[in-house]
Every structure is written in structure tokens, then in C-alpha cells.
Amino acid sequence: MTLLAVENLQVEFDTRDGVVRPLSGVGFTVDSGQILGIVGETGSGKSVTAQAIMGLLPFLNGRVTQGRILFEDRDLLSLSETDYQAIRGNRISLIPQNPMTSLDPVYRGGAQIVEGLRLHTDLSRTRAAERAVDVMRSLGIPNAGKVFHQYPHQLSGGLKQRIVIAMGLCADPGLLIADEPTTALDVTVQAQIIELFRQTTREMNLGMIMITHDLGVIAHLCDTVAVMYAGTLMEIGPVKPVFQYPRHPYTQALLSCIPAMGMREDDLEAIPGNVPGVRTYPDGCRYHPRCPEVMAVCRTVPPKTAAVDDQSRVRCHLYPPDRGAVHETAG
Ligand SMILES: Nc1ncnc2c1ncn2[C@@H]1O[C@H](COP(=O)(O)OP(=O)(O)OP(=O)(O)O)[C@@H](O)[C@H]1O
Ligand SMILES: [Mg+2]
């Protein structure tokens, strides 16, 4: 069942130097039990996408100027702030990119997990505390009983991050959005948490959006991958075929940056050129200044999305869209 549908999303922010448009033409769906990975270089609009779904843009001097966000068949953009609050943190839970911002320094870590649990379940305080310690253990927190009683400033970055993940999981949401949730963690713990996300989504029939720089995480965890570049969606489809036969030159470049077994780091091919800033998105296809397959049309005309098959889409002039199809525009 389609849990979330984001359609042709466009976002603007007011800044001191005028309006910027960090997102345009972003669209995807997430089903219950499905994990969508969003990957892209820094500044490509991954966190803004999460903030838009969470309805947090108005607090960040921003707004959605085009498109729709449907969650459980409700049009989120038409909700009042009060109605949004009932969904935010309940039906849709965000593990934010910076875990420090979501922990309250005056409460012990465990108490913050328990508070969430008590809000969303009818567990007694004692049972909720037991459940919180269980979840902390399953996240690989050593001495979970002790950590439970510690204040955020007593915890390492990695432990704080895991407390925030525990809070996100305990909210018992329908959709979990995790924004780079494993960056502060070492590789072993990261693998453990990825496994836990996989189990949880299956057991709870949860939809999940995993935002990451790490194509390895996408390969291990996700069903579908959405590749973002400069505020727009370049390619989307099931992970296996996209990794095997990437269509977009940008996806191809990203994948060629993954080290193969036995490869030395300095053999790695980095994508030449820089990611453009939100004020200087180029005309035409935003990737054209870096694209090895650039054609004249790419410099002036923004490409529309083309269906590769019924599950995959690509936004590139190499793949002309069928005439008459519905297109998401970026520009
Ligand atoms: N509140 C804001 N006001 C103005 N511009 C913003 C705001 N938040 C984000 N931006 C801009 O929007 C663009 C997209 O930012 P976003 O945080 O979504 O990138 P990201 O893909 O999450 O990057 P990273 O991988 O570094 O987390 C950036 O150019 C950023 O500077
Ligand atoms: Mg981000």
C-alpha cells in the first residue's frame, strides 16, 4: 500500500539575499514495509526533503511552492499546524541529521525514550523503562542500564546518536525518516543498526526513508534508491537494477566512486568539478557542467523525467520522455 506520495515538490527559502529554491521536481513514493534510500552529495536537498515531509519548513523561513505530499491518503500541505502536530512525531517520525538538537540537555537519555514510549503506548512507567533498555541494547549500547540514567552531556556522540534512534523507533510510527543516522558511529555499530532498521521495517510493516551519502548503506538496506543532485531527482528505481545498470551519467559517476575490492584509495575516480550552490544552479540540466556526455540541449533545456520501465525513472536528455506522459519539471 502506498504510504507516502511526494509529487513534483518545489521548495523555496527566504534568505537575507533573496529567495532560493533548494528543491524542484522531486517526486517518489514509499510503501509500507519498504525502504527508500535518498542519496546525493552535500547540499543536494536531502534534508530539505525530510523537513518538507515533516512540515517543518515554516519554522525555517521556507515553504512548499509546488507539488503535493500525500500521507495515508491525507494531503499534508493542507493540514493546519495543530493537525500536523498530531502526525509529526507520531505517525511520521524523524531521526534528524544532528542528534544533538533533539535531545533535551536537562533530562536523562533513558527518560527521553520512556517519555516517547508512554506517549505512544499504554505501557506503565516500569514496563516502558524495561522496553527502552531493551531497544538500547538492540542498538548495541554497552551498559544500557547505566547509560539509561546518564544526561546527554555525559554521553559520547555515538551514544547520543543511538539514543535519538531509539526515540525514533519507540515512537511506533508508520513512516520513519532517518537523516544520516549512522554517521557518528563506527562501522560495526553501523552494520548493527542497519540490520535493526531492516528487521524493524519488516516486523512493524513500517515505511522508511533512509538519507545517506553512503551507497553501501543503500545497497545493504534499501529497496528503492532516489539519486538527488542540485535540488532535483536525477534517477529513481529499485536498488538492484539501478546499481547494475545506472542510466543517468551522474548515477554512473557516483557508482564508479565506490572502491572495488582491493582497490587503493588513490585509484578512486572522483567526479570532476564541484557541486553548484543553490544560488548558482546552472540552466538546462543542472549536472551538465560536470557531465561527460553533455549535449547542446543539456546547456539550455531542463530535462524532463522519462520512465525507464514501470518502476524506474530518469531525468536526462539521453532518455527522451514519451510524448503525452505526465512529467515533473525542474527549473
Ligand atoms: N533554512 C534554510 N534557509 C536557506 N537555505 C537553506 C535552509 N536549509 C537548507 N538550505 C539550503 O538548501 C540546500 C539543500 O540543503 P540540504 O540541507 O537539504 O542538503 P543535504 O542534501 O541534506 O546536504 P548534506 O548531505 O550536507 O546534509 C543547501 O544549499 C542549503 O544551504
Ligand atoms: Mg542533510
For ligand 1, is residue 96 a contact (CB within 6 Å)?
A: no
Q: What is the pLDDT of residues 3-50, one digit of tens each?
A: 999 999 999 999 999 999 999 999 999 999 999 999 999 999 999 999
Strands 305-307 and 313-315: antiparallel
**Single residue among 142, 172, 202 that ends a domain in this structure:** 172
The structural domain count of the chain equals 2
Report which secondary-structure segment, H or E, holds 55. Answer: none
- pLDDT for 58: 85
Distance 63 CA to ligand 2 centre (A): 17
Q: What is the pLDDT of residues 292-308, one digit of tens each?
A: 999 999 999 999 999 99
47, 49, 97: residue to mutate for ligand 1 pocket, most atoms within 8 A of CB: 47
151 and 273 fall within a common domain: no
55 and 179 fall within a common domain: yes
Q: What is the pLDDT of residues 59-105, one digit of tens each?
A: 889 999 999 999 999 999 999 999 998 898 889 999 988 777 788 99
The answer to whether residue 181 scores a pLDDT higher than 80 is: yes
Residue bearing the CA closest to ligand 1, atom 31: 43
330 versus 129: the higher-pLDDT residue is: 129
137 and 184 fall within a common domain: no
**Single residue among 109, 138, 172 that ends a domain in this structure:** 172
How many other C-beta atoms lie within 10 A of the C-beta of residue 98?
14
63-84 CB burial, b ≥16 within 10 A, e <16 = ebebbebbbbeeebeebeeeeb
For ligand 1, is residue 44 a contact (CB within 6 Å)?
A: yes
The answer to whether residue 264 scores a pLDDT higher than 70 is: no
- pLDDT for 296: 97
> Which residues on adjacent β-strands are paired with residue 237?
225
Ligand 1 atom closest to Cα of 228?
21
**% the chain with pLDDT above 90:** 65
Mean pLDDT of all residues belonging to the chain? 90
Give the mean model confidence (pLDDT) for residues 225-246: 97
For ligand 1, is residue 19 a contact (CB within 6 Å)?
A: no
- pLDDT for 321: 80
Report which secondary-structure segment, H or E, holds 111. Answer: helix 109-120
For ligand 1, is residue 278 a contact (CB within 6 Å)?
A: yes
Ligand 1 atom closest to Cα of 278?
29
- pLDDT for 147: 95
Range of the domain at 272: 2-91+173-315
pLDDT band at 266 (very low <50, low <70, confident <90, very high): low
Distance 14 CA to ligand 1 centre (A): 13
Based on its alpha-carbon atoms, the radius of gyration of the chain, rounded to whole angstroms, reads 20
What DSSP state is assigned to residue 61? T
The answer to whether residue 190 scores a pLDDT higher than 90 is: no
Distance 60 CA to ligand 2 centre (A): 14
123 and 52 fall within a common domain: no
- pLDDT for 153: 93
Q: How far apart are CA 193 and CA 137, in angstroms?
A: 11
- pLDDT for 68: 97
The answer to whether residue 202 scores a pLDDT higher than 80 is: yes
Decide if 293 is inside a domain. Answer: yes
21 and 83 fall within a common domain: yes
151 and 179 fall within a common domain: no
Distance 145 CA to ligand 2 centre (A): 32
105-125 CB burial, b ≥16 within 10 A, e <16 = eeebbbbbbbbbbbebeebee
Q: How far apart are CA 170 and CA 30, in angstroms?
A: 20
Distance 251 CA to ligand 2 centre (A): 19
- pLDDT for 150: 96
Q: What is the pLDDT of residues 102-128, one digit of tens each?
A: 889 999 999 999 998 888 888 899 999
Distance 13 CA to ligand 1 centre (A): 10
200 and 303 fall within a common domain: yes
Residue bearing the CA closest to ligand 1, atom 8: 48
178 and 273 fall within a common domain: yes
Ligand nearest to the CA of 39: 1
Ligand 1 atom closest to Cα of 277?
29
For ligand 1, is residue 97 a contact (CB within 6 Å)?
A: yes
The answer to whether residue 267 scores a pLDDT higher than 80 is: no
Give the mean model confidence (pLDDT) for residues 299-322: 93
